[in-house]
Amino acid sequence: MLTLLDKLKTRLVLFIILFSVIPLVTMAYFTNVVYHETVEKTKIVLESEAFQRSNAIKLVLDLRTQQLQTFSGIKSIQEVFENNGFDGLPKNMIDDFKIDLGEFQEHTGNTDGFRNYKFIDKTGKIIFSTGILNVGDDMSKDPDFIRGLHEPFTSFVYDGYNRLNKIIVPVHNHSLEHADSIGVITAEIPSKLVDKILLNRHGLGNTGESYIVNKDSMLISDSRFANHEKFKQIVDTQPISECFNNDHNITSLYPDYRGILVYGSSICENELGYVLLVEIDESEIHSTIQPLINQIILIAGVIGVIIFGFIVMYIKSISKPIDQLVNTCKNYDVSNLQEINIKSKGEINDIVKALNTLISRVKNNEKEIESNVNQIKEKTKQMEKLATIG
């Protein structure tokens, strides 16, 4: 059978547990809020970085494409295409061509500028080349040539040592409006500017990176985790399939090509044949909010300890007078009513005062009863006397 004190202690223990859980629940709630806010901010940063880097790459490639288109309209270049090569061209025209080509090369960056030029007439025959292909080779079945007859575009190629940006533009006869192209010019440029854009890791922490993947799911840029693996590393992740299958951009949590969970954002450049990704490891996001979580845990722990200490002290402050009160009640001599003398504060003192008030009233009632009994006894004696006389 539980005593009053045992019951009180049990309730107080439950009270301690309840108020210890409150800081833990509060901590869990704020930790969850902080984590989700951090994730959302990270997603916004990734989307912004992906958008800016994609636009910067397109600006670089558009500029190079415009430069090559401008070059295709130079008079000496037009004459080479109209003549289907250099055979039969006067020496002064050939000299003009060499001068124009040299000036264009110098203007567009020399060693960092265009290289591996190919002039291809509308039948697919190479009429001029500075690359490995020879004049006269047939390119009529080449997809780049076929597409280049109708529109300018760029692609990424790999020469076995370096990644290059290939620029393909149609050549039009400027003397004829709305005429079909008379050929195609292809040239290649080093990807240094694109690399600078991709390898700039400002704002991407210790594990963030940006890279591009082509339609063959092949990594075609440097990676901080797969260096020198361009055009070798297969990247078959969620953003790749979403881009080339559904033409969608995504910002989500997914495993990257290393199998590590990352938060990433993609920009699908389907027409250009690649998708750009900006990613950061999920573990780094956890590490950034871990100090704050530790502070929340510390605060919750301090609050729990304070509550626990306060209640323990409270239990100690009331357990002694309760014990005294219980023992006094058990051993109380009802034949000798005396006031209970227990020094306490708060509710126990109120209980003692109430008991003493009750004892005082009982004593007063006893006196009244004794007085009434005496009166009855006196009247009884008088009646007995009267009865004797009668």
* Rounded CA separation 229/223 (Å): 8
Q: β-pairing, 126-129 with 153-158? A: unpaired
Closest CA to 306 of 49, 52, 20: 20
Query: In the beta sheet, which residues pair with residue 274?
Result: 214, 269
Contact criterion met (CB below 8 Å) for 186 and 120: yes
Per-residue pLDDT at 266 exceeds 90? yes
Mean pLDDT value of segment 292-314: 72
* Rounded CA separation 130/121 (Å): 15
Burial of 32 (0-12, 13-18, 19+ CB in 10 A): exposed
Q: Could you report the per-residue pLDDT of 67-81, keeping only the tens digit for each?
A: 999 999 999 999 999
* Rounded CA separation 268/276 (Å): 6
Burial code (b: 16+ CB inside 10 Å, e: under 16) for 245-281 equals eeeebbbeebebbeeeebbbbbbbbeebbbbbbbbbb
Contact criterion met (CB below 8 Å) for 356 and 338: no
Mean pLDDT value of segment 245-254: 93
Alpha-carbon distance values, 19 to 13, 68, 209, 226 (Å): 10, 74, 46, 52
* Rounded CA separation 296/208 (Å): 27
315 compared with 50, residue with greater pLDDT: 50
Residue identified by tokens 């040239």 is 187
Q: Strand runs (DSSP E) across the chain, as ranges?
A: 115-121, 126-129, 153-158, 163-171, 183-190, 209-214, 251-255, 261-269, 274-281
Backbone dihedral region of 233: left (phi > 0), alpha (psi from -120 to 50 degrees) or beta? beta
Residue identified by tokens 């547990």 is 17
334 compared with 379, residue with greater pLDDT: 379
Q: Report the mean per-residue pLDDT for the chain.
A: 81
Structure tokens at 56: 């910067």
Q: Could you report the per-residue pLDDT of 8-36, keeping only the tens digit for each?
A: 666 666 666 666 666 667 777 777 777 78
Q: Could you report the per-residue pLDDT of 352-370, keeping only the tens digit for each?
A: 677 777 777 777 777 777 7
* Rounded CA separation 334/338 (Å): 9
3 state SS for 270-315: HHHCEEEEEEEEHHHHHHHHHHHHHHHHHHHHHHHHHHHHHHHHHH
Per-residue pLDDT at 87 exceeds 80? yes
Contact criterion met (CB below 8 Å) for 235 and 226: no
Per-residue pLDDT at 203 exceeds 60? yes
* Rounded CA separation 239/247 (Å): 10
